[in-house]
Amino acid sequence: MSSTDGTPGSPRPEGSESRSGAENEGGGPPTPEGAARPPRSKARAYKDFDWNTMDRIGQAAAFDAIGDRYDEAFPHKEGQIASGAWLAEQLPAGSHILDLGCGTGLPTARQLVEAGHQVTGIDLSPGMVKLAEANVPDAEFRRMDIYEVERYELGPFDGVAAYFSLLMLPRAEIPYALRMLHQQLREGAPMAMSMVEADVDDFTLPFLGNTIRVSGYLRDELRQVVHEGGFEIAGEDAYAYAPASTDVPPEIQLFLQCRRRP
């Protein structure tokens, strides 16, 4: 069910699968009566999260409107493809990989499927999920918010790809999301992730004719946040990236090759 009827600042995330009732047990914000209730999850990475701070208003709608223009605006993804190749090589064929905030499924879900893996992609935007399903029919996609992965017990996974998706969260939430991913993986499992290097928190950004909110870190702080989230950083690459679109500024993209710590 969609909760796009929420008002700015509402704790109800936009376009997410949701549960009913006021009780949430650390599993999510209260949602209207009558909504589907997901199964209870044993994992509780978001247990102490302050749901009153959660505001997804506009995030899914922006990506619905952007659609496959996203791939046109970001055409050369050498860094992401190299990172995806690293992830694919860490695991035996048939491994189950979560593509967090999968977007159109390109290039990552397709690359991982072509490498012989089983991919589950989740994304808040129904439009993105639809594109991903068309682009990568051999993967499974769910319209889902990042925080819902543990609630719906999608895992455990053998690996995670999180390319430019954690940056869609406010900084206060990113450690919770990382701990959630930590709980979805076994010790030593690989996680490939990317962020844009920027010292911003829930920053409003004009993006391909829409407005989104993004967060970022300078690289030392990013390393620290990822480490504290339960991952060691096995490798790192930085790319200067000039998108094809004129309203998206040039950026430094940071790709981290991580492993789940004990």
- Choice from 57, 136, 168, 193 touching ligand SAM (CB under 6 A): 168
Helix (H, G, I), strand (E, B) or coil at 222: helix
CB of 125 to ligand SAM, least distance (A): 3
Picking from 158, 213, 215, 214, the residue whose alpha carbon sits closest to that of residue 181 is 158
Asked if 163 contacts 104 with a C-beta cutoff of 8 angstroms, the reply is: no
Return the bridge partners of 45, or none. none
Tell me if 128 contacts ligand SAM by CB under 6 A: yes
Tell me if 102 contacts ligand SAM by CB under 6 A: yes
Tell me if 125 contacts ligand SAM by CB under 6 A: yes
CB of 24 to ligand SAM, least distance (A): 17
Q: Which stretch binds ligand SAM (CB under 6 A): 17-25, 82-90, 99-107, 230-238?
A: 99-107
Ranges within 132-161 binding ligand SAM (CB under 6 A): 145-146
- Backbone φ, ψ for residue 88 (5° rounding): -60, -40
Picking from 94, 258, 256, the residue whose alpha carbon sits closest to that of residue 191 is 258
Tell me if 173 contacts ligand SAM by CB under 6 A: no
Tell me if 57 contacts ligand SAM by CB under 6 A: no
Of 122 and 189, the one with the shorter C-beta distance to ligand SAM is 122
Cα dist from 262 to 4, 185, 232, whole Å: 39, 10, 10
How far apart, in whole angstroms, are the C-alpha atoms of residue 109 and residue 129? 12
CB of 228 to ligand SAM, least distance (A): 21
CB of 1 to ligand SAM, least distance (A): 15
| Residues in CB range of 220: below 8 A, 6 or more apart | none
List residues near ligand SAM by CB under 6 A. 56, 59-60, 63, 101-103, 122-125, 128, 145-146, 163-165, 168
